Structure 1
Amino acid sequence: MKNNLDGKKIVIFGGNGFIGRHLIQKLSKHSCKILIITRHRNEEKNLKILGGLGQISVISMSSYTLTNLEKILKNSDVVINLIGILYESKSQSFEYVHEEIPSLLSKVANNVGVKSFIHFSALGVENVRNSQYAKSKVNGEKVTIENFSNAIILKPSVVFGSDDNFINLFSNISNFSPVLPIFGAPRLEKSKIFSRDFLFKSSVKFQPIYVGDLAEFAVKVIDNNFKTYELAGPTIYTMDELLNLILSVKKIFRFLVPVPLKIANVMGLVLENLPKPLLTRDQVKLMKYENISIQGLKNLKKIIPNPKSLEIILPTYLK
């Protein structure tokens, strides 16, 4: 699948995040102009060096209105929305970030004649009950398609890479803690070594996708018409398998301790009051559901024939 990005103006919202930085690096290999909209004024220098001289521009914007968005998106060819949060704060709710902002961006993009609109969502959110995060993600997809009929929706599984928030969280915990928690409805399984012993195995599964593959996929489908893509990596893991892989790469031993969801919910009740919570009650609700997709891997392989696995990438950044 080929596309021609030469000479195009691409506007990215949320480009200063984990996925955004990798996407910018992929886009900057083409002769296109990239405009990044961010709330963080101090990120301008760090973002500009991701591309060639004069290729990347950065605008700091703390609020979005029809007027200022029309000025920014006028004469743009592509709009990419990466804005998202994992937990709510006093200034940012799931509804505002995942529903109202995508609705406004897609509406303005359509009104001013933008040719392509890509919206990043998340895998499996439509199957989750009683989670405000999941509900807002689903609604964000709906309003985007309603406002911009040719929009492309990308729904990746857990995304990993050198500066991710998932693998690095447990890796960092292992640096100071002798135990690692197994979240996600642990179940008992008889040990293969000692018949009287039992091992805890997580029943929830993940299918992590490498951020470089995700970014490359996004670049390659820019010229496509409306489609929703589930995206997932080449290997399915349970939570305990993920943790054991992290420990194996780091060549250390830690005890894996099962955490029933009821206890995890209590932990979330306490931790969600921190400025940057490690866990919230809403996130605990997500732990009940698998994050895998066979079709997601098929979709990825159509563009990325040999997607990278955790086993290949983790040794390059875990210490």
Structure 2
Amino acid sequence: MQNDLVVVFGASGFLGRHAVRALAKEGYRIRAVTRRPNLANFLLPAGQVGQIQIVKGNINREEDIAKAVAGAAIVVNCTGVLYGHGKQGFESINCDAPGRIARAALAAGVTSLVHVSALGADTESDSGYARSKGLGERNMREAFPRVTILRPSLVFGPEDSFFNRFAQMARFLPALPLIGGGQTKFQPVYVADVAAAILKAVQDVRTAGRTYQLGGPKTYSFKELLQFILAETGRKRLLLPLPSFIASVMGFVAELPSFLLPIRPVLTVDQVRLLKADNVVQPGAFTLDDLGITPASVESIVPGYLWRFHPKGQFKDQVAISAR
């Protein structure tokens, strides 16, 4: 009898919940690993009764990981932090945890391992985030050479922390910051397309050992993305160019409270460093196209959830029609 048990780490997160949904739709049994199971019950309706099991697990604890992967055929790692704090920092979550998961998967006889990293992952990067993602990939490969690594660009979807955050900021601020002049390039990719890539990597043995760079159909500058947000939310705001040096100082000040309290600052010094490099798919890389996936565009998805930030809310379209 074929083992169809998939263990998903970070199952209740932004990407993890979409991965669980995609896997459940294809009939896989899923063990959803999360630190707070009581907050992950929303995952259960994604599958049939008993198809999805929610278990408590901390990826900083090797015994938790070993228990989670026991008896599984496939492991998917969707964990990661863009801002690190304490035991949930870059080193522990982005760098060390992937190695722990890979070693446990190998010991448990797992046949397929999929790791979600990030476009721009680089062990030599000035950014702590990008560097930790690169080291995490290296730790994965050293322990489980046939791991499939997925590197998405900026991921968007109804629960994202980019379009929603800047749309929220535009409600209250007279201006939005163009860090570094706003010329950094992004290739936003829809969260459901990343979930589809995870599913494909699970199903297709030919993906083993490969690294895929995942980007959407179009490249945008940071400025263009902010202009799009303002247009969709009906806000007129100044886009204020902010030199990287000044942004770094602001990030340092914004981070100060987080040294005492577990709160996420609006801007960090590391995020400013991250914005110095473009985040786009490189020529010659394996992409969504190689996985048989046609990516959705920002324009076809994002307006469907940014309407709530418009002054007229869900009635904005009716108002525009009435005006004509």
TM-score (normalised: structure 2): 0.87
Structure 1 residue 71: Cα displacement: 3.0
Structure 1 position 288 matched with structure 2 position 276:
yes
User: By how many angstroms is 1:78 displaced?
Assistant: 0.6
Q: Which residue of 2 aligns with 1:69?
A: 65
Alpha-carbon distance change, 7 to 103 in structure 1, aligned in 2, over 3 angstroms: closer
Aligned equivalent of 2:189? 209
Q: Which runs of 5+ in 1 are unaligned?
A: 1-5, 187-201
Gaps of at least 5 residues in structure 2 are 308-324
Q: Which moved more, 1:249-258 or 1:17-26?
A: 249-258
Whole-Å separation in 1 of the counterparts to 2:25 and 2:296: 20
Does the alignment pair 1:145 with 2:141?
A: yes
Which is further off, 89-98 or 128-137? 128-137
Q: Tell me which of 55, 59, 65 is aligned to 1:59.
A: 55
Equivalent residue, structure 2, for 1:189: none
> What is the alpha-carbon distance in structure 1 between the residues aligned to residue 97 and residue 220 of structure 2?
33
Give the whole-Å Cα distance in 2 for the aligned partners of 1:302 and 1:147.
26
Structure 1 residue 293 displacement after superposition: 1.2
In 2, Cα distance between equivalents of 1:178 and 1:72: 48
Does the 8 Å CA contact 2:211/2:286 hold for their aligned counterparts?
Answer: no
Shift of 1:254: 1.3
**Distance (Å, rounded) in 2 between the aligned partners of 1:111 and 1:228:** 23
Compute the RMSD of aligned alpha carbons.
1.8
Range with bigger deviation, 64-73 or 270-279: 64-73
Aligned residues: 298
Asked if 1:170 is matched to 2:158, the reply is: no
Measure, in 2, the Cα distance between the counterparts of 1:124 and 1:43. 31
Aligned counterpart in structure 2 of residue 235 of structure 1, from 215, 218, 221: 218
- Matched with 1:113 is 109
Secondary structure of 2:302 counterpart: helix
> 1:243-254 maps to which residues of 2 (within 5 A)?
243-254=226-237
What's the counterpart of residue 25 of structure 1?
21
With over 3 angstroms needed to count, the CA separation of the structure-2 counterparts of 1:57 and 1:305, relative to structure 1, is: closer
Could you give the per-residue CA deviations for residues 72-102 of structure 1, whole angstroms, max 9, x where no partner exists? 3122011011111111212322111112111
- Residue 298 of structure 1 deviates from its aligned partner by 6.4
Q: How far apart in 2 are the matches of 1:304 and 1:210? A: 15
Aligned to 1:219: 199
Task: Give the Cα separation in 1 of the matches to 2:86 and 2:95.
Answer: 17
1:277 equivalenced with 2:277 (yes/no): no
Structure 1 residue 258 corresponds to structure 2 residue 241: yes
1:66-145 mapped onto 2 (5 Å cutoff): 66-126=62-122, 129-145=125-141
Structure 2 counterpart SS, 1:272: helix
Shift of 1:127: 7.9
Whether the aligned pair in 1 keeps the contact of 2:9 and 2:32 (CA below 8 Å) is yes
SS at match of 1:230: strand
What CA deviation, in whole Å up to 9, does each residue of 1:41-64 have, x standing for no partner?
322321222222111111112364
Q: Which amino acid in 1 is paired with 2:289? A: K
2:230 counterpart letter in structure 1? L
Q: Is the 8 A contact 2:152 2:215 kept in 1?
A: yes
Does residue 268 of the first structure (1) align with residue 256 of the second (2)?
A: no
Letter matched to residue 239 of structure 1: F
TM-score (norm 1): 0.88
Asked if the contact 1:128–1:289 (Cα under 8 Å) also holds between the matched residues in 2, the reply is no
Aligned-partner Cα distance in 2 for 1:7–1:63:
23
| Aligned residue type for 1:293 | V
The aligned counterpart of 2:295 is 307
Query: 1:295 Cα deviation (Å)?
Result: 4.1
Contact in 2 for aligned 1:39/1:62 (Cα 8 Å): yes
For residue 57 of structure 1, give the secondary structure of its aligned residue in structure 2.
Answer: strand
| Amino acid across the alignment from 1:95 | E
Identical aligned residues as a percent: 38
Which of 178, 181, 199 is the equivalent residue of 2:177?
181
Give me the whole-angstrom Cα distance separating, in 1, the residues matched to 2:255 and 2:185: 24
